[in-house]
Amino acid sequence: MRALVLAAGLGTRLRPLTDSVPKAMVDIAGRPLLDRWLEMLLDGGVERVLVNTHYLGSVISAYLRTSPWHDRVDLVDEKILLGTGGTLLANRAWFGPGPLLVTHGDNASDLDISAFTRAHAGRPAGIIATMALFRTDNPQSCGIVVMDGNNVIREFHEKRPNPPGNLANAAAFIFEPEIFDYLAETGKDVIDLSAEIIPRLIGRIQGFEIKGYHRDIGTPESLEIARKHYRKA
């Protein structure tokens, strides 16, 4: 299996920190966040990783040249941001014929990649995707799911007031190659996975709850909470 780490975001809510450091490269307890993701993915059974860049891409490129993972990581720079789904579609040939993993590179996470891939391999018939999930303390700011007894997602509520629960989209997915058909059917180059594709997969996507820590570090307050957690770990 190959994986895409989305690392092209502007990180505007973290300024002035992200004036010189891309969001995926912010320090968490002495390590860039991207370094943590590469270790989890490549130690968890992923064969090769693609990292997309845009804002301050040269910082990520310089880091990868000297990282211990450099010979198993490819880089693609986007002159125009394509969105989470657009990046996936634009690099279709890179992934090959099997299932693929996609994750945002700006979350502090303990996602067990091996367990995640096992869950996808054991999915019920008709399921083409597995979404990683976490328990959030701010459900109105997340995509909240409702699952049935087989962990199949039956409802998806994207950033709505008073959502039904706190089990949230962790922005990490495993897809079967069929996902490219959904992406191509939009007829667009710029595609948002959560807004445009995930709602179309209801009943064909299962959930996998992360047992360890997971937090979006998109605000200074959330970043400091994640830093404190990993300093104590």
Interatomic CA distance for residues 223 and 229, integer angstroms: 10
- pLDDT band of residue 161 (cuts 50, 70, 90) is confident
When pLDDT is averaged across residues 52-79 and rounded to a whole number, the result is 92
Q: Residues of the chain with pLDDT > 90: what percent?
A: 74
186-233 residue pLDDT tens: 999 999 998 999 999 999 999 999 999 999 888 899 899 999 998 876
Residue with tokens 């399921």, as numbered in its chain: 127
20-49 residue pLDDT tens: 889 999 999 899 999 999 999 999 999 999
Q: Among 96, 122, 82, which Cα is nearest to 180's?
A: 96
Round the average pLDDT of the chain to a whole number and report it.
92
Report in angstroms the alpha-carbon separations of 62 from 10, 25, 65, 70: 18, 11, 5, 10
At 168, phi and psi to the nearest 5? Answer: -115, 155
Q: Among 233, 231, 220, which Cα is nearest to 23's?
A: 220
Q: What is the pLDDT of residue 162?
A: 78
* Tokens found for residue 151: 């962990």
Helix 33-43 × helix 57-66 angle, to 10°? 50
104-152 residue pLDDT tens: 998 999 999 999 999 999 999 999 999 999 998 878 778 899 999 999 9
Is residue 154 within 8 Å of 148, Cβ to Cβ?
yes
- What CATH architecture does domain 2-232 belong to? Alpha-Beta Complex (3.90)
Cis peptide bond N-terminal to 16, omega within 30 = yes
Residue with tokens 């008073």, as numbered in its chain: 162
3-state secondary structure of 128: coil
